Amino acid sequence: MKKRYFKRSIKVGFVIIFLSLFLIRCSSSKKAVALNESDVKNIIDSSQFTFVAERMNPMRGASRILTSYYDVEVKKDTLSSYLPFFGRSYQAPLDPSKSPLAFHSYNFTYKSQQKNNDQWQVFINPKDRQEIQQLLFTIFNNGSATLNVVSTNRDAISFYGHIVRNKQ
């Protein structure tokens, strides 16, 4: 009886692993066309780009692949964020059905600096959103990027993805 249960659980385990690998492979096939270094520099200098999130890494818990479209659009006068949040909140939200990372900001600071030859950092501090302290983008010369969000009353969270040029 125990042998049969053990064999069945091994088979189920292999099926779960196979399906997980298959789904990860399918979700990673939605990569954008890689940018070259001069394109990335121009996009950062113009302060107009969209970060497309592909995976999130909450401070507590496992990394999750995002199956829906989530992004942060940066323009000279507008910051639009549509990102999910998983993690601990230290203050009860007024509307628990809304993500704290889904917002628009019209008053923010934008600062960029080249960290080394293949990496830039972009610091965005929204002044009209008290719950968001900073968005820190680390952008690589091929267009891949990470985003670290530091909040006032919530755990920090990271996103991995890529940037694209905003449509004019």
User: 37: helix, coil or strand?
Assistant: helix
Q: Are residues 53 and 16 in the same domain?
A: no
Q: Are residues 12 and 68 in the same domain?
A: no
Q: Are residues 64 and 122 in the same domain?
A: yes
Q: Are residues 25 and 51 in the same domain?
A: no
What pLDDT band is residue 112 in, cutting at 50, 70 and 90?
Answer: very high
Q: Are residues 53 and 127 in the same domain?
A: yes
How many C-alpha atoms does 57 have within 13 Å on its Cβ side?
7
Q: How far apart are CA 129 and CA 123, in angstroms?
A: 15
Q: Are residues 62 and 104 in the same domain?
A: yes
Q: Are residues 133 and 107 in the same domain?
A: yes
Considering its fold, how many domains does the chain have in total? 2
CATH number at residue 79: 2.40.128.410
Which segment of 50-64, 79-93, 99-113, 123-137 scores lowest on mean pLDDT?
Answer: 79-93
Read off the pLDDT of residues 4-35 as tens digits, 9 standing for 90 and up. Answer: 665 666 665 554 555 554 455 444 444 445 67
Please check whether residue 139 is in contact with residue 115, taking contact to mean a CB–CB distance below 8 angstroms.
no
